[in-house]
Amino acid sequence: MMKKLVSIVLMLALLAGCQQTNESTDKTEKSKPKMRTEQIHKGAKKPAKSAMTDKQMQENVAANVQGEVKQQQKADTANIKQALEILAETQKAVDLIAKDKDKEAEDLLAKIVGQLEVLMAKDPKLALIPVDVNYETRDLIADIPAVYAAVESAQKAMDDGYYQQARQILNDLASEIVVKTTYLPLATYPDAIKLAVNLMSQGKKDEASAVLVNALNTLLVVDSNIPLPVLRAEEYIKAAAVAMESKDKDKEKTAVNYLENADYQLKLAEALGYGKRDKEYKELADAIDVLKKAIENKEETQGKFNDLKAKIAAFKERLFFKKAGK
């Protein structure tokens, strides 16, 4: 009887302990602070619309991105031509294997290996050859308060456990151009061709051909997400510089308006989380303020414009243009 009584007391103690633990956990969960994002620039007011039309802005941004992509992918034309010729010869080797011209195929493959090794040593950038570029635009028509309203909805959904709803809200918080670049990974070719040669020596022609075909068909797609607000800010800054060089009697007013629009776009980009809290956002904002004051005080502005344009170009490249393989 005493043993039973002791067991009951121990069990009650354990249950009480568990209940206390659960209550403590509940209190901890209830007292746990909810994650909240600091709403920087929430009070920023949207400036008056500039003289630049939406169509002009769209065309300028598209030209800007395409120019940047070409610059990023710039390489020695002669070396790329030779690399493409090597790919064509690889396809020729596949055709020779299909025609049972094994000796010719093996000789050609050995030649290709040597060419590839020399070429890659001469120009390591050819490890990835760009063969196609596509652009996808995801635009968000919203001001800064609307962005934070959406962020708050997403945070509440996360707090309540509605993760998919939060994901959908956050997916919509994108204002960017996605540059999809397709590359041929030339760096993998030497190993593939050596393997094919080895298979050929074992009489495994079908396997050798499959290895070569697989190498030819292997592509790498790299996405670079460039925020539209940053691109628009850059275009507004360029337009402000052009306005200041004009003979328009209202050029100062026009230039300041362009700069105010540029400043707002940069604040919008930061609110959307593109490079958030990056010190260069502040540097850009400060540079814009310096320019506006210089314009209002009738001071020299060309050097300041050149400095600001260089800052935003470097900022954009460092944060948003992703080079393949890096």
Where exactly are the structural domains of the chain?
75-131+180-218, 140-174, 227-319
* Total residues found in the chain within this entry: 326
Phi then psi for 140, rounded to 5 degrees? Answer: -120, 115
Phi then psi for 276, rounded to 5 degrees? Answer: -55, 140
Q: Which pLDDT value is given to residue 3?
A: 39
> Cα–Cα distance between 105 and 82 in angstroms, integer?
19
Q: Which pLDDT value is given to residue 304?
A: 93
Residue 182's CB is within 10 A of a number of other CB atoms, namely 15
CATH architecture of the domain formed by 227-319: Up-down Bundle (1.20)
> Cα–Cα distance between 253 and 48 in angstroms, integer?
11
- CB of 284 within 8 A of CB of 266? yes
> Cα–Cα distance between 237 and 304 in angstroms, integer?
11
Write out pLDDT tens, residues 53-110: 999 999 999 999 988 887 766 655 677 777 788 889 999 999 999 999 999 999 999 8
Q: Which CATH number describes the domain made up of 75-131+180-218?
A: 1.20.120.1940
Q: Which pLDDT value is given to residue 222?
A: 87
Which structure tokens are listed for 58?
A: 């769209």
Q: Which pLDDT value is given to residue 128?
A: 81
Q: Which pLDDT value is given to residue 28?
A: 44
Q: Which pLDDT value is given to residue 8?
A: 34
> Cα–Cα distance between 13 and 236 in angstroms, integer?
71
Which structure tokens are listed for 194?
A: 């050596």
Q: Which pLDDT value is given to residue 25?
A: 44
Residues in the chain with pLDDT values less than 70: 1-38, 72-77, 276-277, 321-326
Q: Which pLDDT value is given to residue 21?
A: 44
Write out pLDDT tens, residues 13-42: 334 344 444 444 444 444 444 545 567 777
> Cα–Cα distance between 215 and 222 in angstroms, integer?
18
Q: Which pLDDT value is given to residue 175?
A: 94
Q: Which pLDDT value is given to residue 243?
A: 95
DSSP labels, 226-286:
EEHHHHHHHHHHHHHHHHHHS--TTHHHHHHHHHHHHHHHHHHHHHTTTTTT-HHHHHHHH
Q: Which pLDDT value is given to residue 322?
A: 54
Q: Please name every residue paired with 316 in a beta bridge, in sequence order, or none if there are none.
A: none
Which structure tokens are listed for 198?
A: 């080895």
Residue type, 97: I
Q: Which pLDDT value is given to residue 132?
A: 82
